[in-house]
Amino acid sequence: MSGASPVTVLPTGTANLASVHAALRRLGAEPRAPAAPAEVRDAERLVLPGVGTFAAAMERLAERGWAEPLRARLAAGRPTLAVCLGLQLLAEGSEESPGVAGLAVVPGTATRFDADLPVPHLGWNRIEPEPECRLLEGAHVYFAHSFRLTTAPPGWRAAWCDYGGRFVAALERGALLACQFHPELSSAAGLALLDRWLRAAGGASC
């Protein structure tokens, strides 16, 4: 690639940004924080990472004036990657934080894994994409989460994983990609997925 391709990464305050930044840089992209809320809506490519609690992440988005521009961006289908908690933030809410509204881009509520399962679901597990998926491929990827979606919203293509029952491992729609797992921690398979998303979002890797 000639020159670094910019990718806006939201510093939600609940994410391990170092690993996200490192993975993007390995693919020839240049991560940066938004300079103003309007950039959240208008950036060429944007990543919404998340590790931590649903309520804390939503509070950060609201405090920084990012929530509404992010909703507008997602409604317009602008290239966006949501990671781990980032996927759950797209929902209407989460059992983790009762009464806290999510971005409500997709219907449903993130629910906790059944009580008889070790939580969090931590480590490597296999995902299986639906045949119509363009970005997602079958692979072993790295998870670290206690809550999940169990149904795929209309209009989205899904990849599925099993941990005490089937749950949504990832969603895609055009250049929108939301992963319950961590592609930045998923070795070659994760980097390959990030590369495909960058290309779909208009940025080829090296």
pLDDT at 16: 76
pLDDT at 12: 84
pLDDT at 52: 84
Q: Which homologous superfamily does the CATH classification assign to the domain defined by 5-200?
A: Class I glutamine amidotransferase (GATase) domain (3.40.50.880)
Residue type, 44: E
**Integer Cα distance of 42 and 70 in angstroms:** 9
Quote the pTM value.
0.94
Which residue(s) pair with 124 in the sheet?
142
| Contact present, 155 and 107 (Cβ < 8 Å) | no
Domains of the chain, residue spans: 5-200
Pairing mode, strands 109-112 and 147-148: antiparallel
pLDDT at 2: 39
HEC readout, 135-201: CCCCEEEEEEECEECCCCCCCCEEEEEECCCEEEEEEEECCEEEECCCHHHCHHHHHHHHHHHHHHC
pLDDT at 198: 96
- Give the residue from 135, 120, 138, 121 showing the smallest Cα distance to 174: 135
Q: What string of pLDDT tens digits covers the 206 residues of the chain?
A: 335 689 999 998 766 789 999 999 999 999 999 999 999 999 999 999 988 899 999 999 999 999 999 999 999 999 999 999 999 999 999 999 999 999 999 999 999 999 999 999 999 999 999 999 999 999 999 999 999 999 999 999 999 999 999 999 999 999 999 999 999 999 999 999 999 999 998 744 43
| Contact residues for 156 (Cβ-Cβ < 8 A; gap 6+) | 106, 171, 172, 173
Pairing mode, strands 80-83 and 176-179: parallel
**Integer Cα distance of 179 and 168 in angstroms:** 9
> What are the residue numbers of the active site?
84, 182, 184
